[in-house]
Amino acid sequence: MATFSSSPQLFSALPISTTHHHIHSSQTPPPQPSTTTRNGNQEMFIKSQQQKQKPISKPTTKIESTDWIATSLTRRFGLGAGLAWVGFLAFGVISEQIKTRFEVSQQEANTRTLDTQQEVLLPNGIRYTELKVGGGASPNPGDLVVIDIIGKVQGSGQVFVDTIENKKPLALVMGSRPYSKGVCEGIEYVLRTMKAGGKRRVIVPPSLAFGQAGADFGTSIQIPPLATLEYVVQVEKVSIAPA
C-alpha cells in the first residue's frame, strides 16, 4: 500500500513534454518565399495590369507635305496615294515648264524684224512704226505685260524713262489705273495690238499722254504741258496676272 501511494509524487517530479512539441520539431518547415522573389512577383503583376490598362497605339506614318490634298489622301488611302498626288503635281510643274519653254521657242521662231518700216497713223492721233513683229500672245484686259520702254519728250529729247539702261523692265496690268513709270494711255492703247516679242516706235499726242497738266517724275524730270512723247516699246512677256 505504501508503494502504490508514492507513485503520484514520482510522476509529478518528472519533466512533462507534450506530444505537440515533438511532432512540430520532427517535421520539416515549408519553404518561405524570399523577400526579393515576393517583391519581383508584385512588380510583374503591377506591370501586367498597367499594360492591360494602357491603350495600344498603332504606328503611324507622318507625311511632311505642303500640299493639304496630298496629306488628306495619305491619311485616308495610305502613303501610296499621297505620293501619287505629289508625283502628279511634280508632273504638272514640269509640264508647265515645258509648255512655257515651248511657247518661248515658238515666240522666238515667229518673231521677225521688218526690213521695210512704215509709219501707221491711227484715228486717235497715235503714230507707230513696226520695228519687229512679235510671235507670242497678244495681251487682253487684266493680263500682266512685261515691257522694255524708252520715253522722250519730242523736241527737247529729254529722256524720262529708260528700262533698257536701268535693266529693270516694267510690269503693268492691262486696264489698270493709274499709270506709272512714264507709261501713259497711248502706250496701253498700242500694246493692245502688239504681241510678245514685238517692238514699235510710237508717237503719242498730248491728249493720250499727260495733257495740259504735264507730269513730274521727281529728280528734276518733268514733262511740260501739252507735250508730244516719243517711245520705243518692246513686249517681253504676256501672262495671266496673279490673283
Concatenated DSSP letters of 145-186? EEEEEEEEETTT--EEEEHHHHT--EEEETT-SS--TT--HH
| Residue finishing a domain among 110, 142, 172 | 110
One domain, residues 166 and 123: yes
One domain, residues 101 and 200: no
One domain, residues 76 and 157: no
User: pLDDT 10s digit of each residue in the chain, 243 long?
Assistant: 444 444 444 444 444 444 444 444 445 555 555 544 555 566 666 666 665 555 555 544 443 444 454 555 455 555 555 555 556 555 554 544 555 665 666 666 667 777 788 899 999 999 999 999 988 889 999 999 999 999 999 999 899 999 998 889 999 999 988 888 899 999 999 999 999 999 999 999 999 999 999 998 877 788 999 999 999 999 999 988 776
One domain, residues 100 and 133: no
Say if CB 214 and CB 182 are below 8 A apart.
no
One domain, residues 77 and 164: no
Residue 11 domain-assigned?
no
Q: Strand (E) positions, the chain?
A: 112-113, 119-121, 127-133, 143-153, 159-162, 170-173, 199-204, 215-218, 221-223, 229-240
CA pair distance 146, 23, nearest whole angstrom: 115
One domain, residues 116 and 232: yes
One domain, residues 212 and 124: yes
One domain, residues 127 and 209: yes
Q: Work out how many domains the chain is built from and give that number.
A: 2
Q: How confident is the model at residue 55, as a pLDDT?
A: 54
Residue 60 domain-assigned?
no
One domain, residues 154 and 203: yes
Residue 50 domain-assigned?
no
- What is the extent of the structural domain holding 184? 112-240
> In CATH, what number is assigned to the domain containing residue 128?
3.10.50.40
Q: How confident is the model at residue 11, as a pLDDT?
A: 43
One domain, residues 74 and 136: no
One domain, residues 84 and 149: no
pTM of the entire structure? Answer: 0.56
| Residue finishing a domain among 110, 144, 166 | 110
Residue 79 domain-assigned?
yes
Residue 1 domain-assigned?
no
One domain, residues 98 and 167: no
